[in-house]
Structure 1
Amino acid sequence: MTESRKLRIGFIPLVDAAALIVAVDKGFTAEEGLNVELVREVSWSNVRDKLNIGLFDAAHLLAPVAIASSLGLGHVKVPIITAFGLGLNGNAITVSPELFNALKDAADGDLADPMVSARALARVVMNRKARGEEPLTFGMTFPYSTHNYQLRFWMAAGGVDPDQDVRLIVLPPPYMVESLANKHVDAFCVGAPWNSVAVDLGIGRILHFVSEILERAAEKVLAVRARWAEDNPDMFHKLVRAHGRAAAFVEDEHNHHEVARLLSAPGRIAVEPEVIRRTLDGRLKISPDGTYRSSDRYLMVGRKGAARPDPAQAAWLYAQMVRWGQALMSAEGLAEAKAAFRPDLYDKIIGGSPDLPPSEPADRVGAFTGPAFDPDNIVAHLDGWKIRRR
């Protein structure tokens, strides 16, 4: 019998909401006795605020927002936890044709190498300054977002100061494409399917999958208020269990056609199923000329331990908040950040192992460059960077 009280769960129209959408639309939540209403939102601030004040019982949420909310950064302090990760990776950096050509002209090597492209960006930025031109503008989805940190990480690796040399502006994911078309931005970092939509329209070119910059990057989580999980343990466990089933369904390539159809529906993501299918298959068209690029790491929903929350990922995100001046470094802050990611609850509800497959990076992040990362000693990692806020 279905629970009489309806659960309201907010989401943004992105492919990394797949496990959430499938859990509801395939009936996995109903089979657990849950009555769930999915509420499509436009902006991450809406999702965060409605979760924090209790208008949503749970949410498809940016992983860093769970940490920022728990620490009281940028908003009221509301402890948020996750026992289920909705996806690792899944973002891409898309640039205008004009910027791509400028990067290509400035590149010393293959632009598919993120260090080559980052250094090319530094040359483009320097040349624009010398000519007295306006700074390049990059769109990202939220100040406390993986998109913000991934753009900054990549830029700074090539010598570009993201706060001094370019403009970073916040745009809701569905508005990225229109902003690129109207030349309000020169590039953006966003999740699928919006990079592919820009390519299909001929107005953008995918420069990098973020999995080329970070091998494992916690992207979205199934987030709940810590107090809600304590007050509704049975409901919480059922919700996580249903997501475990949904992630397994999404990861089965035989189901990709059906998953793409479910996600493409009005009220969900509302784009052509074929665009979503590319994301699920990890084979994306990166250029309007029909060039494709494939990666088995583009978006990981459940495989390779992706659904099990990893406190090392929380530590990396907290390190970015400290690096870019959003948070002060403290042992207490690091501990609180890690506490938002609850692998113990995942193991209790679904069962799991803290060990990653041998193919996964030893530090559980796998950045393409930079000082060594130790989730228990992020100060040493931060001290290795020349470009940071202090």
Structure 2
Amino acid sequence: MSDALTLEKTDLKLGFVALLDCTPLVVAREKGFFKKHGLNVILSKESSWASIRDKVSFGLFDAAHMLAPMPLAATLGLNGNPTPMMTALSLSQNGTAITLSQELYMALSNKISDWDDSEQVGQQFKELIQQSGRKPVIATVYPYSNHHYQLRFWLNQNNINTEEDVQLVAVPPTKMLDNLSTGLIDGYCVGEPWNSLALVQQIGGLVSTGHKIWGSHMEKVLGVTQQWADEHPNTHRALITAIHEACLWAEEPSNQAEILKLLALPPYLDQAAEQLSKFTPPYSMEQHFSGENVNCPDPDHGLFLIDQMRKCGQIGKQEFDQDEIVHNVYRKDLYQNWIGA
């Protein structure tokens, strides 16, 4: 399809963070989907989401692997000057979890008979906090992330006050394990593989997953600025088409072993991916790269995210047209035009 397009730009630089859900970008590069659509793409590994945000905003990256709320937060100016951003492709669905330190997890294990009973888990965690006499420090990856909202949602659901009972901090995904193992934090909500690796290395235990908390939800997206999209419509379409084909490839069960080999290459997850080849987490993360309602950006989820932002106090009294904002950010129309319903 993109062969018939005159691409405004063919040499692109895309940012990503070392997580399993960067898989579509890695696959698109290593399996030749970018080249198939006339694109020469460099992938740049970044340590933090703030770096991703800034480099896309300032035009240092053409596009990037982003947390689903990031284009919305940037457009609203919640993390600095407003920078209109958008996404025409969801890269993944689900894939997050809440992990506690081994010490906390073992203390909870002595009190919990059924880990699938989220009410029991939450109640016992609250009691454990009260007995300890201190606030556990729990990290999320970025203030404007599903992780942050899911953790707060789970805590509030279990009557744990996010201001008085715990201390919430932000830590880059790749720093979570080190911070947990050294005791700087007592737990975290993060994407894979950083939950599974805590179990593999026996420094933490899994207490819930994002899917169990929220059900199926848009997790990562391909984000671009509105200006870049306006200036490069054909390139944008070719980029979305190439990565969508990579998403389809990545979802095939027969390709899972090769995906881990690709992710284990030094430019990507390196040794972190190698440790996953013989490990299955105790709870399914329900992470998907393709399938029904996986890749189409969902404006309704955008409205849900605005509600979470308001509940967290991230959006003050500012007035804006919510429907207009979410439809400008989560471009379901472009996805349907370029990929199909």
TM range (shorter): over 0.9
**SS across alignment from 1:224:** strand
Q: Deviations over 1:196-221 (max 9, x none)?
A: 11111111111122111111122110
- In 1, Cα distance between equivalents of 2:110 and 2:154: 19
Matched, 1:22 2:27: yes
Counterpart of 2:316, as a letter, is L
CA contact (8 A) 2:193 2:273 kept: no
Deviation at 1:272, TM superposition (A): 5.1
Give the aligned partner of residue 142 of structure 2. 142
Q: 1:58 aligns with which of 49, 56, 63?
A: 63
Counterpart of 1:284, as a letter, is T
- In 2, Cα distance between equivalents of 1:29 and 1:298: 27
CA contact (8 A) 2:9 2:235 kept: no
Give the aligned partner of residue 218 of structure 2. 218
CA contact (8 A) 2:197 2:276 kept: no
- In 1, Cα distance between equivalents of 2:72 and 2:254: 35
- In 2, Cα distance between equivalents of 1:134 and 1:15: 33
Give the aligned partner of residue 363 of structure 1. none
Give the aligned partner of residue 293 of structure 2. 305
Q: 2:305 aligns with which of 305, 317, 330?
A: 317
CA RMSD of aligned residues (A): 1.9
CA contact (8 A) 2:57 2:225 kept: yes
Structure 1 pair 186–25 and aligned structure 2 pair: CA distance change class (3 A): same
Deviation at 1:106, TM superposition (A): 4.4
Matched, 1:347 2:332: no
Counterpart of 2:128, as a letter, is V
Matched, 1:337 2:341: no
Give the aligned partner of residue 72 of structure 1. 77
Q: Deviations over 1:272-312 (max 9, x none)?
A: 5454557xxxx733xxxxxx33x3x6211111221111111
Matched, 1:47 2:47: no
Structure 1 pair 4–305 and aligned structure 2 pair: CA distance change class (3 A): closer
- In 2, Cα distance between equivalents of 1:200 and 1:267: 22
**SS across alignment from 1:284:** coil
- In 2, Cα distance between equivalents of 1:3 and 1:22: 23
Q: TM-score, length-normalised on structure 2?
A: 0.93
Give the aligned partner of residue 177 of structure 1. 177
Structure 1 pair 69–126 and aligned structure 2 pair: CA distance change class (3 A): same
Give the aligned partner of residue 122 of structure 2. 118
Matches within 5 A, 1:96-245: 96-107=101-112, 109-128=113-132, 133-245=133-245
- In 2, Cα distance between equivalents of 1:51 and 1:191: 21
Deviation at 1:100, TM superposition (A): 1.2
Deviation at 1:339, TM superposition (A): 2.6
Deviation at 1:8, TM superposition (A): 0.7
CA contact (8 A) 1:8 1:36 kept: yes
Number of equivalenced pairs: 335
- In 2, Cα distance between equivalents of 1:211 and 1:301: 14
- In 1, Cα distance between equivalents of 2:94 and 2:20: 11
- In 2, Cα distance between equivalents of 1:271 and 1:159: 39
CA contact (8 A) 2:152 2:162 kept: yes
Deviates more, 1:318-327 or 1:199-208: 199-208
- In 2, Cα distance between equivalents of 1:171 and 1:272: 18
Deviation at 1:268, TM superposition (A): 0.6
CA contact (8 A) 2:90 2:222 kept: yes
- In 1, Cα distance between equivalents of 2:182 and 2:272: 22
Give the aligned partner of residue 266 of structure 2. 266
- In 1, Cα distance between equivalents of 2:210 and 2:123: 17
Q: Give ranges in structure 2 of 5+ residues lacking alignment.
A: none
Counterpart of 2:130, as a letter, is M
**SS across alignment from 1:169:** strand
Q: TM-score, length-normalised on structure 1?
A: 0.82
Identity %: 34
Q: Deviations over 1:167-188 (max 9, x none)?
A: 1111000100000100111111
CA contact (8 A) 1:256 1:277 kept: no
CA contact (8 A) 2:92 2:290 kept: yes
Q: Give ranges in structure 1 of 5+ residues lacking alignment.
A: 286-291, 353-390
Structure 1 pair 343–4 and aligned structure 2 pair: CA distance change class (3 A): closer
- In 1, Cα distance between equivalents of 2:120 and 2:276: 29
CA contact (8 A) 1:315 1:338 kept: no
Counterpart of 2:339, as a letter, is I
Deviation at 1:242, TM superposition (A): 0.3
CA contact (8 A) 1:15 1:276 kept: no
